[in-house]
């Protein structure tokens, strides 16, 4: 696994003694965000936005405020090291807004207390629809790297808004008095677009604390001691030797799976976890198999990035 797909694996506890269970291994995978970027960015800056289809408030300024609210003027995404020009990610692009009101009247029957019966009443109607699409352009100023475009779209329809229908859904969905102002809807949708971009840029973290298991004689002890030092290559080698001597010891296969995962070898780790589950239906191994399977799937999604 590359540094983009996993960070280092930390050890929380030293080995508890030869032949005993331990150590407890803290596994931490850092998964790249969903935006196809080469490398990481140490700083995110708001760039220029072009607004189309909207003549109301300054959406360019609003988007800049939203981005700076999330990132500040200099927010580290990968490490706290000082950033160079190539480490700066500038976010600009185009904001498209489509807003429309469909109004009219409809007839309903209401009880007239004076008449003592239901009478037909004509009421005004309004359905407000708003669509916001943000084409974010992510660029590294001062470099020859091609920009990356990320499209995020959000829509609103007042007739589908639970707030318009009121408590228990008893209010009219097309009541003009209950539809929120268009500018407030645009602001909300734009905020949702900025939030979606933020989630796409942010790396995900998957963590697990796993206790290595006893057994395996001298090679098993050596494997656990190597794991306590964080020497995953030696740990794998020793556990493989122990398995060769005791091929039916499922605990040794589990330990091998853990050290493979700790070393970032997800495919081999998943295979070992799956074999343990097949043999013993072990719950911890099942969690390891699910975890590594999801990480492998995520890795395949980011293969071939720019």
Query: Residue range 135-160: average pLDDT?
Result: 91
> Do residues 164 and 221 share a domain?
no
Last residue of a domain, one of 202, 237, 262: 202
Tokens of 304: 């071939």
Q: Is residue 5 domain-resident?
A: no
Q: Is residue 80 domain-resident?
A: yes
> Do residues 254 and 164 share a domain?
no
Q: Is residue 284 domain-resident?
A: yes
Tell me, what's the pLDDT at 77? 42
**Which residues 6+ apart lie within 8 Å of 137 measured at CB?**
47, 91, 92, 93, 94, 147, 148, 149
Q: How many CB atoms neighbour CB 146 within 10 A?
A: 10
Query: Residue range 101-127: average pLDDT?
Result: 90
Residue 173 pLDDT > 90? yes
Share of the chain above pLDDT 90, in %: 55
Beta strands in 116-265 (DSSP E): 117-139, 148-157, 204-211
Last residue of a domain, one of 202, 224, 242: 202
Tell me, what's the pLDDT at 103? 96
Tell me, what's the pLDDT at 193? 94
Residue 79 pLDDT > 90? no
Which domain does 121 fall in, by range? Answer: 43-202
Tell me, what's the pLDDT at 142? 81
Q: Rounded CA gap, 218 and 20, in Å?
A: 12
Split into its structural domains, the chain has a count of 2
| pTM of the entire predicted model | 0.61
> Do residues 115 and 61 share a domain?
yes
Write out pLDDT tens, residues 2-56.
433 343 443 333 333 334 557 898 898 877 666 656 556 667 888 899 999 999 8
User: What is residue 169's three-state secondary structure?
Assistant: helix
Last residue of a domain, one of 165, 184, 202: 202
Q: Rounded CA gap, 236 and 253, in Å?
A: 10
Regarding predicted confidence, which is higher, 100 or 37?
100
Q: Predicted confidence band at 159 (pLDDT cuts at 50, 70, 90)?
A: very high
Mean pLDDT value across the chain:
84
Residue pair 81/39 in contact (Cβ under 8 Å)? The answer is no
User: What is residue 48's three-state secondary structure?
Assistant: strand
């Amino acid at each position: 696994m590359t540094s983009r797909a996993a960070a280092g694996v930390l050890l929380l506890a030293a080995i508890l003694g030869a032949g005993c269970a331990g150590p407890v291994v803290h596994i931490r995978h850092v998964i790249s965000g969903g935006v196809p970027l080469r490398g990481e960015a140490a700083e995110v800056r708001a760039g220029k936005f072009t607004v189309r289809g909207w003549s109301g408030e300054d959406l360019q300024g609003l988007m800049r405020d939203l981005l700076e609210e999330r990132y500040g003027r200099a927010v580290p995404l990968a490490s706290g090291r000082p950033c160079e020009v190539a480490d700066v990610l500038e976010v600009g692009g185009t904001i498209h807004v489509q807003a429309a009101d469909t109004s009219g009247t409809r007839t309903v029957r209401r009880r007239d207390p004076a008449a003592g019966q239901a009478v037909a009443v004509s009421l005004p109607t309004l359905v407000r629809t708003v669509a916001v699409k943000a084409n974010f352009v992510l660029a590294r100023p001062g470099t020859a790297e091609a920009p990356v475009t990320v499209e995020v779209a959000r829509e609103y329809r007042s007739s589908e808004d639970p707030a318009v229908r009121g408590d228990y859904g008893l209010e009219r969905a097309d009541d003009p008095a209950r539809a929120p102002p268009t500018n407030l809807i645009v602001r909300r949708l734009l905020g949702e677009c900025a939030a979606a971009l933020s989630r796409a840029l942010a790396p995900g973290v998957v963590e697990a604390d796993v206790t290595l298991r006893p057994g395996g004689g001298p090679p098993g002890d050596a494997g656990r001691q190597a794991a306590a030092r964080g020497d995953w290559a030696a740990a794998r080698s020793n556990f493989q030797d122990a398995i060769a001597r005791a091929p039916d010891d499922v605990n040794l296969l589990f330990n091998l799976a853990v050290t493979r995962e700790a070393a970032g070898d997800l495919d081999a780790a998943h295979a070992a976890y799956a074999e343990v589950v097949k043999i013993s239906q072990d719950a911890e191994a099942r969690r390891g198999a699910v975890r590594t399977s999801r990480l492998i799937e995520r890795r395949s999604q980011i293969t071939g990035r720019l």
